[in-house]
Structure 1
């Protein structure tokens, strides 16, 4: 392995395209000058396309978790009741944030590795008439599940006036997202996943219905007060110092996505999911999720005859290949492969080849090349 050669295949942060790296290396500019306002004017309408909304997409310097907290502190008051759908570690994070603000939380827990059922959520919500918000995770990074967010708001609104608030951190930009059409009230994502950027920016969009709730809330915090960001974005500025270098990169990353075409971006992610899953199925290595629930951006593998952590150590040592481990009760039981953002089918084939050799070195008896061949066939059939 070459000393400086690393292959990053975790579900975030993800690799950064060379042109984005060059964009971020531009000389610094004044954050209150005309150049920054021009940059924001360039970025704003293109973020709308990614979110699928006519609403402003607010740009905040912070991590994805800052977006989850912003959604909570702006849209919900202490002692309000909320429903949090927990399908993994990041659904549980919504619970922790709400509890930190004295909000009364009703948890709807789903077995890790499975998506929630919108009909069950609707029936559960019938018995919670005082709930003011429903929190859900679009892609549950910890399990590789893509939840049916496109169905959630319609189901909720049949039985409740609760806001629908969604964590889209590990998939927006890599999967189809239609915030307005689907009726989502608040949608959050971060820069370090499908947007092909370093961590440091959070993006959040808010429906008119949610803005009515937010404006009536006197305790929106200070730094995360979304009204400040909306008012300043209308003037092509930000209330606090923006992460300018990442904004340079965002401008270029959006260019790349537009040139590829958003439908092609989403199709590429679907193809990479199918190639990855097909390879492990051919190698008879179990997957955590079924095909229907599986995310297009991250695949969770649950081996039953070799050690997941030992495998991760082997491929890191031999090839500089990084994949993620499990979280909480899945720690040591699964590994997770990120295939989002600056990642192509060619990258998937290379990754699978390295992992096959890692399986053999870990003691797994496989036919070398069988998984890669399965992925190759999926790629060729997809092209046809």
Structure 2
């Protein structure tokens, strides 16, 4: 059926009707008093979401822009950094760091496995001269469905060095608890098309006091992503460049929805959907690519045995108008990924598990009686 596609990918995520409606308004002047009121309100809402009193700055750009901004505004050419690499996005930050002339030390893990906090501890303790200036990592590794132990890794950074922590929280912010001030994280980057429940186009950088102190020493080239310009104008409820005005309308609407639901309820909803998805998949005889103990609340990666994952994705899209994400790089055709992030409800979880079970039955790959997977999912949704 035309225009019925249901996004069950890690981004872009579904957008609420009232958020879409807010975007249909005529643009207003980005130097007007009306727009300044929106900037003022959304800035306070963003601080609420990040659980911080620090500066949270909005950039018109993707989550990669936010991460690049966090890196180039706190570091200098030749600085040593530790990059965590256990997936596609960990690899990306290594590439960004090297592009700016940073000296990268790696903490690696196989795709589907979490980063080991002890490896960060070891490298930091070996750095007796204090040359390591930052630890850069992805919290929720979208490519594999792994969530890394950001809290413990950040504790190791703070206990063993004067380095700052720069965290990609693009698919974790708004899905699980990340209390920036309580944990002492220095830089958090995120993007609008994930837990924020709005279309792509805005990104956010939260900067601690220690991050701004590092900024004073930074000499990497920057212009559009110069966060000093964003801070200066943010203090006046404005923006240094022409922002995506209608996305600000959406941001205000979505953050207001999130505040009404409440942080703890948002986190509980994502955890519940994660468990219902994982248990339903296991009950129908499929393998999880990532163990439940370190699975992301935003996305579940599935590794079907002896079945092309792309075939499953294609059939589910054609038969049920549900879009799942595929594997990336060497995992293409080996895994598919189910997003349960942002504006997702019980109906969406029931639909995707039912569609998956029906598809396996259709191609003769369901090895257990039909209905076992969806029964498990419904049981969890009804009792959690």
CA contact (8 A) 1:191 1:200 kept: yes
Measure the CA separation in 2 of the matches of 1:159 and 1:341: 35
Which residue does 1:381 correspond to in 2? 383
Which residue does 1:109 correspond to in 2? 108
Q: Deviations over 1:41-94 (max 9, x none)?
A: 111111111111111110000000111111111111111111101121101100
Which residue does 2:292 correspond to in 1? 291
Measure the CA separation in 2 of the matches of 1:168 and 1:274: 21
Which residue does 1:372 correspond to in 2? 374
Measure the CA separation in 2 of the matches of 1:259 and 1:86: 36
Which residue does 1:47 correspond to in 2? 46
Measure the CA separation in 1 of the matches of 2:184 and 2:243: 29
TM superposition shift of 1:296: 0.5
Which residue does 2:84 correspond to in 1? 85
CA contact (8 A) 1:151 1:182 kept: no
Q: Deviations over 1:104-140 (max 9, x none)?
A: 1111111111112222321232223421100011100
CA contact (8 A) 2:124 2:157 kept: yes
Aligned with 1:322: secondary structure? strand
Aligned with 1:316: secondary structure? helix
Instruction: Give the gaps of 5 or more residues in structure 2.
Output: none
CA contact (8 A) 2:57 2:206 kept: yes
Q: Which moved more, 1:21-30 or 1:364-373?
A: 364-373
TM superposition shift of 1:220: 4.5
Alignment RMSD (CA, Å):
1.1
Instruction: Give the gaps of 5 or more residues in structure 1.
Output: none
Q: Which moved more, 1:31-40 or 1:115-124?
A: 115-124
TM superposition shift of 1:305: 2.7
Measure the CA separation in 2 of the matches of 1:351 and 1:20: 24
Aligned residue runs from structure 1 range 221-236, under 5 A: 221-236=222-237
Aligned residue runs from structure 1 range 183-194, under 5 A: 183-194=184-195
Aligned residue runs from structure 1 range 314-353, under 5 A: 314-353=315-354
CA contact (8 A) 1:215 1:227 kept: no
CA contact (8 A) 1:74 1:219 kept: yes
Aligned residue runs from structure 1 range 169-180, under 5 A: 169-180=170-181
Measure the CA separation in 2 of the matches of 1:28 and 1:192: 20
Aligned with 1:349: secondary structure? helix
Aligned residue runs from structure 1 range 137-152, under 5 A: 137-152=138-153
TM-score norm. by structure 1 comes to 0.97
CA contact (8 A) 1:7 1:321 kept: yes
Residues matched between the structures, number: 381
TM superposition shift of 1:165: 0.5
CA contact (8 A) 1:285 1:302 kept: yes
Measure the CA separation in 2 of the matches of 1:124 and 1:361: 51
Measure the CA separation in 2 of the matches of 1:149 and 1:93: 18
Q: Deviations over 1:325-344 (max 9, x none)?
A: 11122111100000011101
CA contact (8 A) 2:76 2:217 kept: no
Which residue does 1:8 correspond to in 2? 7
TM superposition shift of 1:215: 2.2
Which residue does 1:94 correspond to in 2? 93
Aligned residue runs from structure 1 range 145-294, under 5 A: 145-294=146-295
Measure the CA separation in 2 of the matches of 1:335 and 1:369: 21
Measure the CA separation in 2 of the matches of 1:241 and 1:215: 26
Aligned with 1:323: secondary structure? strand
TM-score norm. by structure 2 comes to 0.97
Measure the CA separation in 2 of the matches of 1:167 and 1:311: 30
Residues 1:31 and 2:30 aligned together: yes
Aligned with 2:211: secondary structure? helix
CA contact (8 A) 2:72 2:218 kept: no
CA contact (8 A) 1:311 1:362 kept: no
Structure 1 ranges of 4+ moved more than 4 A: none
